Structure 1
Amino acid sequence: MMEERFAGFIITYNRPVKLTETIEKVLSQTYSPEKLWIIDNSDNEDTERKINTLTYENVIYHKVGYNAGPAGAAKIGLCLAAEEGVDWIYWGDDDDPPVFPNVFERLFNIIRLESASYKIGQIGIVGQYFDEKRGLLVRISDKQLKNSKTLPVDNIAGNQCKLINARVVTMGIYPDEELFFGFEELSFDVKLKIAGFQSVIDGSFQYTLREKYGKLGFKKGVVRKRNVNSLWRNYYSTRNLLYILKDNGYYTAVVYQIIRRLLKIGVAYRYGRKYGHYNMQTTLVGISHFLVGRKGENKHIGYGRK
């Protein structure tokens, strides 16, 4: 039915049960990858033992040997798949399988139809715009999604069926592995855009997802529940966004983001003293580590993907 050679990888960390569920859903797609690498960041043998019980011949286990984070694991997966000579690579995560059984087939239909109109570097189902002056990801309106089949975007959200044109990987475009965790997809997407490639999504598909999960009609200023246990992410998102902006020459956005995040320290105390204090700690450490050039995993902040 389709001529494109298609492989993929799934990043995992200490979640063997969720991983096997995701593998099943990926390989049961109406158009599925010919090979699927499991890039295992785990610090134990549970995942490897679980993979060894599976009967899929096209699932290939790759033990990293240390926790490379999503950024390092993504680079490994992209390179392994590109070396096979495939045309497109699925970039997946262990707890975010395709929502519908025909997602890949639908995306490949767009690739075939629009390849003459767009220099497609990647395609997916959930996208955003990127404000280069402020360093902000910008939500696409419901109206624009509903009326668009193929929509150029700046960023394709992580774990949203990102399909990568293998040609860009052979050109040396992949996420900065030293980021470890947080905005690794944005790191890749900005490089992709600078190299002259386009990121596109199926806009009507994203609209369907918003409808399915009750996310239509989103309004700014809506206060959402805050969880102090997830604030370790704030360290990585603060630090890594600043690196991405600086490395790509968005210096005005670097200044804007530092000021913005410092001002938000006081606001965070509205969610409680504990939340406000930890938010302040992760923000200040994230900014300071950016200023001194520190990357990689911060074991003092933690890594909560368990």
Structure 2
Amino acid sequence: MSAERVAVVVVTYNRADLLEKMLAGLGGLDRAPDAVFVVNNASTDQTRAVLEESTLPGLVAVHASDNLGGAGGFRLGLQTAYEQGYDVMWLMDDDVVPAPDCLTRLLAVDGSCLIAVREDRTGALVEKAALRFDLRNPLAIRPKTASIDSTYASRAEMPETVEVENVAFEGFLVRRDVIDRIGLPDASYFIFYDDVDFAIRARRAGFPIRAVRDAVLVRQLDFDQQHDLAGWKGYYMYRNLFAVHFRYGENPLVRAKPWLIALVVVTLSPLRGGRAEARNVTRALRDARGMRTPPAR
């Protein structure tokens, strides 16, 4: 494995200060990557200057002319690294900092799909990867029924590796045989669930995904996505969740769940997200129907 060529793929948008810390973390790795592809999603802050001034070896800035979202950015970065012949692609968001031995720990574990484990700045375990992502039980309104951080009180309590059923593109390591088999992430998701979709396809193609306990990423921001269902992000959360159910639901009742969820949200909208959330969920349901079939490789 020491002979493998490793490319880090980073996607960033208007978070130059976080990006700078993240690149410094990559520079401190005890096993340096062979290349670092940073997809700049048409940022309007100081991101371009940070990239131009960086002295990180192997850094390649990919400046998108439009904001492709996380999904489009990771597809572009992964495609670039894959087409340039790298054996291993390590996907990274701009708001995490890897421990110095993080990449070394990942490369020491056999497997084509591996994830690093996220902690917050206090050392608390915040890894959200699902131990169970249930697309079989129609009564499981939230398909993620157990996660690493809901199962283990701390990283120290984890086994050395833990098999998971979904990932975040934030510390996910994938080898090129997976891309050979299933293709690239689906850019149509824009944000949210593109990583879940990719994980489902990988597992169904015979590639288990394992979290590596001793490969640590430190997350710089708190998780707050669940509070935005009436905003613009809420539309993508609902639409992409529905698309995953339409595509990968294992029986007709599960594939019908988006209709039930939309009905419940609209019915309860006067008591919770109001008209904005009701508009989001109805538009999401309509648009998700157009995403039922994954794009061709």
Shift of residue 144, structure 1, vs aligned partner:
11
TM-score normalized by structure 1? 0.76
Aligned residues: 272
Shift of residue 229, structure 1, vs aligned partner:
8.3
| Matched residue type, 2:241 | L
Cα deviation, 1:197-225, whole Å, max 9, x if unaligned, reads 1110125778x989xx999xxxxxxxx99
Q: Specify the alignment match of 1:105 in structure 2.
A: 104
TM-score normalized by structure 2? 0.78
Q: Specify the alignment match of 1:183 in structure 2.
A: 193
Matched, 1:290 2:288: yes
User: Alpha carbons of 1:233 and 1:198: their partners in 2 closer, same or farther (altered >3 Å)?
Assistant: same
Q: 1:196 aligns with which of 198, 206, 211?
A: 206
Contact 2:246 2:289 in 1 (8 A): no
Q: Specify the alignment match of 1:82 in structure 2.
A: 82
| Distance in 1 separating the partners of 2:286 and 2:44 | 32
Q: 2:181 aligns with which of 171, 174, 177?
A: 171
Q: Specify the alignment match of 2:275 in structure 1.
A: 277
Moved more, 37-46 or 89-98: 37-46
Cα deviation, 1:230-283, whole Å, max 9, x if unaligned, reads 732221121112222323354432312331343144556555xxx333222211
Cα deviation, 1:72-106, whole Å, max 9, x if unaligned, reads 111111111122322211111122232x3322222
Contact 2:230 2:280 in 1 (8 A): no
| Distance in 2 separating the partners of 1:209 and 1:23 | 13
Q: Specify the alignment match of 2:263 in structure 1.
A: 262
Contact 1:107 1:202 in 2 (8 A): yes
Contact 2:245 2:257 in 1 (8 A): no
| Matched residue type, 2:145 | V
| Distance in 1 separating the partners of 2:51 and 2:225 | 36
User: Which runs of 5 or more residues in structure 2 are unaligned?
Assistant: 118-126
Q: Specify the alignment match of 1:252 in structure 2.
A: 253
User: Alpha carbons of 1:262 and 1:30: their partners in 2 closer, same or farther (altered >3 Å)?
Assistant: farther
1:198-213 aligned within 5 A: 198-203=208-213
Contact 2:71 2:194 in 1 (8 A): yes
Moved more, 185-194 or 85-94: 85-94
Matched, 1:152 2:163: yes
User: Alpha carbons of 1:209 and 1:25: their partners in 2 closer, same or farther (altered >3 Å)?
Assistant: closer
Moved more, 149-158 or 119-128: 119-128
**Matched residue of 1:66: which SS?**
coil
Once superposed, what is the RMSD of the aligned Cα atoms?
3.4
Shift of residue 43, structure 1, vs aligned partner:
4.8
Contact 1:27 1:33 in 2 (8 A): no
Identity, in percent, stands at: 21
Shift of residue 294, structure 1, vs aligned partner:
10
Q: Specify the alignment match of 1:120 in structure 2.
A: 112
| Matched residue type, 2:88 | W
**Matched residue of 1:124: which SS?**
strand
Contact 2:133 2:166 in 1 (8 A): yes
Q: Specify the alignment match of 1:300 in structure 2.
A: none
Cα deviation, 1:170-204, whole Å, max 9, x if unaligned, reads 33422111111111100110110111111101257
Cα deviation, 1:94-138, whole Å, max 9, x if unaligned, reads 22232x3322222222x2xxx3xxx53333324212101246122
| Matched residue type, 1:183 | Y
Contact 1:5 1:86 in 2 (8 A): yes
| Distance in 2 separating the partners of 1:106 and 1:244 | 31
User: Which runs of 5 or more residues in structure 1 are unaligned?
Assistant: 216-223, 296-306
